[in-house]
Amino acid sequence: MKKNNWLRWAVCLSTAALIAGCSRGNNADDFVEPDPAPILYQRALAHLQAGDNRTAAEAFEEVDRQHPASVFAQRALLMSAYAHYEGGQFDDAEEAARRYITLHPGNDEAAYAQYLIAQSRYQQVGDVTRDQTRAREALRAFTEITRLYPDSKYAPEAERRRELLLDHLAGKEMEVGRFYLGRQNYLAAINRFKVVLTEYQTTRHVEEALLRMTEAYLALGVVNEAQTAAAILGHNYPDSPWFERAYALLNEGGLEPREDSGSWLGRNWRRLRGA
């Protein structure tokens, strides 16, 4: 998160408004009462600069509540989402950012609001041993950035996060698949490895998934699928240590890698890879 850039933007906004609101004429009778919205905004900003993120978020929300028609209400709503995020209140950050998008969908900063939503979910992703609901939600949120705001400055970072999350989710499937494989529940293991091939084709886990499918199919005696998995592994990743292991497994039974176009992998591999 580019914290300094956001604080500079917020400071410039409030300072300019305060100067304009407190201008005087040639005598005391020309005094103009300051607009309370930028004053409240300035107080919220001071809390944010002091590192009191929770109080800052509440103060920004107060600007929106008391002066909903002010231009500061729009800015304050987004700043409240930012303050919640900086304070680790990710659900509150997402709620405020979602409200901003609902109220101001065409605003230039809607992309940043979506980015805050995605980042808030991303910060709550657990390791592969935990439930991956948040990882899937973060993936959807980052995908929304690349879909709705492809030209925004947040799109490249969103794409990088998407790749990390895809790899993370594939790792979860591999962990569960290896668990089933170790307990000789081969069909359940194969189904997990198929998920890696069908949903996470671009990740580094594809090579191991093909090896594990070779192992599982051999254990089940489904030789043509085992040979096909090894053949596809060798064709696409000839220097992979996973292929070396798959080749050795087949060799132990007097077999070699050979693709069967009628097998599940043979029928679906090119389609899965987008070829």
CA 190 distance to own-chain centroid? 27
Domains and CATH numbers, the chain: 1-124 (1.25.40.10)
Confidence of residue 171 (pLDDT cuts 50, 70, 90): very high
Given a cut of 90, is residue 111 above it in pLDDT?
A: yes
Given a cut of 60, is residue 13 above it in pLDDT?
A: no
Confidence of residue 108 (pLDDT cuts 50, 70, 90): confident
pLDDT in tens, 202-253: 999 999 999 999 999 999 999 999 999 999 999 999 999 999 999 999 999 9
* DSSP element (H, E) containing 192: helix 186-199
CA distance 150 to 192: 32
Single-letter amino acid code for the residue at 39: I
Rg (CA), the chain: 27
Q: What integer pLDDT is reported at residue 29 of this predicted model?
A: 53
Q: What integer pLDDT is reported at residue 274 of this predicted model?
A: 59
**Residue in 273, 96, 118, 261 with CA at minimum distance from that of residue 201:** 273
Between these two residues, 70 and 103, which has the higher pLDDT value?
103
Q: Please give the torsion angle defined by the CA atoms of residues 162, 181, 190 and 236, in that order, rounded to the nearest 10 degrees.
A: 60
Q: What integer pLDDT is reported at residue 273 of this predicted model?
A: 66
